[in-house]
Structure 1
């Protein structure tokens, strides 16, 4: 720490940043179908995921990633305002995938959103799309846990635990955070009561 209250800087290589971004893309991409079903022809979230993928595969980190992330964010806001919650969270997963390329090497809990946010938003989108079934979200978090390779877990372990708040998406985020860090797993799908 350089001064009282300053944030600690952590080590983060470009290779690790690419690995985290690849993970975010893998978590966000499956949920794009929900957005595209609701908004056919609107490719803003897919463009954000594609730009993130290009970076993960070795392309330069360019303004295109930020531009597509902002466009996907507008798509998320538009679908939210139209009452299309699952599509909105699907678009937010895409925003998160692009944002993963800009994970900052500052030991702040909010940075965990760049690592695990795409998975949590995707889980929430799938959950809402399935009639707000919490088992669906928990199942997707389990899949996202399995996708997190050793590099992603190593990077995650350098940051503080996921922040509180953010409603159900935040709960899903924290479930994945606990699980990925190797702590005792959170409540699984068997512990969630079936819907009435």
Structure 2
């Protein structure tokens, strides 16, 4: 059976051989949109300034978050992206940061906002902050759509967090499950027996 979501029925999901069996919806699209509204207000209150803000989107996961967040910000800004990963298509990370693209925009003297999809152990985000600092950024702030509730604090805290999730593998709204389902219109968790990080 295949059940497809549509604009009029955004909760309905595609169920097929690639969809993780018994995936649990943690947040609906409406709940994610409300979190993005709050994030945009918090960012606007703290980061509005005379110089344009440079937003660095962390690919690929941060693409959907940035795409929904940036139109909500009523300030002049520029955009660039960075692609650094600890996961690939695997479900468990390692400590090695893999750089696939560094920002093309010079960072010296810039106010920077790094936008990512999820903050778990914070090792990727910490590496990005350190790279921006090494290039002479004036200020560096970070935003994550979701943060995992872990027993130990992350290597770096995000300045802006939309929602929290349990310590399970989550996907949807930019986050993938085995390379798929970044386009799922909510945030889902795979069964704990199916792995996690």
TM-score w.r.t. length of structure 1: 0.30
Structure with a larger share of its residues in strand:
2
